[in-house]
Amino acid sequence: MTNKVIIDTDPGIDDAMAIYFAVQAPQIDLLGLTTVFGNIEVELATQNALRLLEHANIDLPVCKGVAMPHVGPESTYAKFVHGEDGLGNLHLPPPKTSADQRTAAEFIIEMAHKYPNEITLVPIGPLGNIALALKLEPKLPELIKSVNIMGGAAHVAGNVTPVAEANIWNDAYAAEIVFSAGWDVKMFGLDVTYATSFDPDFVDILAAKNPVLGGLVARASQFYIDFYSKREDKKVCFFHDAFPLAYIVNPDLFTLITGNIRIGTDPLHRGQTSFAPLGSTTSELWTETPPVKVATGVNHAALTQLFIDTYAR
C-alpha cells in the first residue's frame, strides 16, 4: 500500500536526506513539497527544494510557505548548522524550475479535499504552514489522515534552549495550534532523533548505494558532520527529519506512547513540548488538550538498514 505524503520542509541537510528517502521509498507517494522558513529563509528553502527535486530528476509541485513565525520577530535561522546555502555550502547552481503558484497552505488544503483521509502531512520544519492551513480550512483535521512531525523534546533536553527543539522553538504559537487541533499527531522529536547517531561512513554508504541522491547527501553532510562533531570526541551525524518518514515505511521500528502536550510560548519556555503521558496528571491544562502520540524509542540498527536499503533501490 502506498501512502500519500506532503513534506513541509526547510532544506536543510537532514531535510534533503529525508526527502530523498521519501522519493526512494515505494511505500510513499510524494504529492509535493511545501516550504517554510527555519534553517534558512523561506525563499532559499524554496530554491533548495527545487534544486533537490531537479537533481533527482523529479517533477513535483514545490509550494512556498510562510516566511515568519506566527508571533514574534524574524527567525535567526540555523546556517551555522546547515551552511550559508542551507545545503552544506555546496552552492549548487540556481534551479531551472519555478515554484508552484499555490501557497503551501493552499496546496495542503487543495490536496486534502482531493484525497480526503488519505494524506499524511510530514512537517520537518517549523509549523507555520500547517497552522495557517488549519486557520484557512477548519475542517482540515477531518480531511487529513495523520500529521507526523519532526520536532519537540518530551523527556530530553532541547537543542536550541535547555527545553526547546529548533522546529518547535522557531514557531511556538503555530506549534500550539497544530498540536491542539484534534487530529492524529505523532511527534518524532529529539527523544528518538538525538538518541540515534550515525557515523560519518553512513553517508558514504548512502553515496555508494546511490551515487546521485546519496552522493549529494554525503557531500552536503560534511559541513553538518563538522557542526555535530564539535561537542563529541568522535565524528557523528544526525538525520532527525527522516524519522517521521521512516515511521510510514515501517512503524514497527518505533515505540510510541500516548499523552497530552502543551507548548511553551513565554520567553523562558518558548518551544518546550511539555508532555504528560496519559493518566500521569489530573491537571486540566494537559488533560483537556487532545491526545497525541510521542515516539520514545527506535530500533537503531534496523532504521539504519532501512535507510541504506531504501537509498539502494
166 binds, among ligand BDR, Ca ion, none (CB under 5 to 8 A by kind): ligand BDR
Nearest CA among 286, 311, 1, 271 for reference residue 153: 271
Output the nine-digit C-alpha cell for 236. 557523528
CB 264 → ligand BDR: shortest distance, Å? 16
Work out how close the CB of 25 gets to ligand BDR at its nearest, in angstroms, rounded to a whole number: 18
Per the annotation, the verdict on 240 as an active-site residue is yes
Q: Say how far apart CA 238 and CA 231 lie, in whole Å.
A: 13
Residue 10, burial from CB neighbour count under 10 angstroms (0-12, 13-18, 19+): buried
Out of 10, 14, 191, 241, which one is annotated catalytic? 10
Among candidate residues 257, 262, 255, 239, the one with its CA nearest the CA of residue 299:
255
Q: Which of 85, 171, 240, 241 is catalytic?
A: 240
Count CB atoms within 10 A of the CB of residue 52: 27
Is 176 among the residues that bind Ca ion (CB under 5 A)?
no
Q: Residue 123 binds what, of ligand BDR, Ca ion, none (CB under 5 to 8 Å, by partner type)? A: none
Residue nearest to ligand BDR (CB): 166
Q: Using DSSP bridges, classify how beta strands 119-123 and 3-9 pair: parallel, antiparallel or unpaired.
A: parallel
How far is the C-alpha of 97 from the C-alpha of 106, rounded, in Å? 20
- Dist CA 15 CA 155 (whole Å): 24
Smallest separation, CB 18 to ligand BDR (Å) = 8
Note whether 95 binds Ca ion by CB under 5 A. Answer: no
# residues contacting Ca ion (CB under 5 A): 6
Return all residues near 103 (Cβ < 8 A) that are at least 6 apart.
Answer: 63, 64, 65
Euclidean distance between CA atoms 13 and 15, whole angstroms = 5
- Nearest approach, Cβ of 83 to Ca ion (angstroms)? 13
Nearer residue to ligand BDR within complex by CB, 17 or 276:
17
Task: Check whether the bond before 12 is cis (ω within 30° of 0).
Answer: yes
- Judged by CB, which is closer to Ca ion: 15, or 137? 15
Binding Ca ion (rule: CB under 5 A), the pick from 8, 12, 31, 187 is 12
Residues found near ligand BDR in the complex (CB under 6 A): 12, 14-15, 39, 78, 81, 124-125, 150, 159, 165-167, 240-241
d(C-alpha 133, C-alpha 5), whole Å: 16
x/- map, 108-147, Ca ion, by CB under 5 A: ----------------xx----------------------
Cell numbers 479535499 label which residue?
A: 113
Residue nearer to ligand BDR on the CB measure, 15 or 137:
15
Smaller CB separation from ligand BDR, 39 or 310: 39
Determine whether 184 is an active site residue.
no
Count of Cβ atoms closer than 10 Å to residue 226 Cβ: 13
Q: List the interface residues with Ca ion, window 203-242 (CB under 5 A).
A: 241
Q: How far is the CB of 81 from ligand BDR (least distance, A)?
A: 5
Min separation Cβ 1 and ligand BDR, Å: 27
> How many angstroms from the chain centroid is the CA of residue 247?
12
Which residues of the shown chain bind Ca ion in the complex (CB under 5 A)?
Answer: 10, 12, 15, 124-125, 241
Give the residue numbers marked as catalytic.
Answer: 10, 240
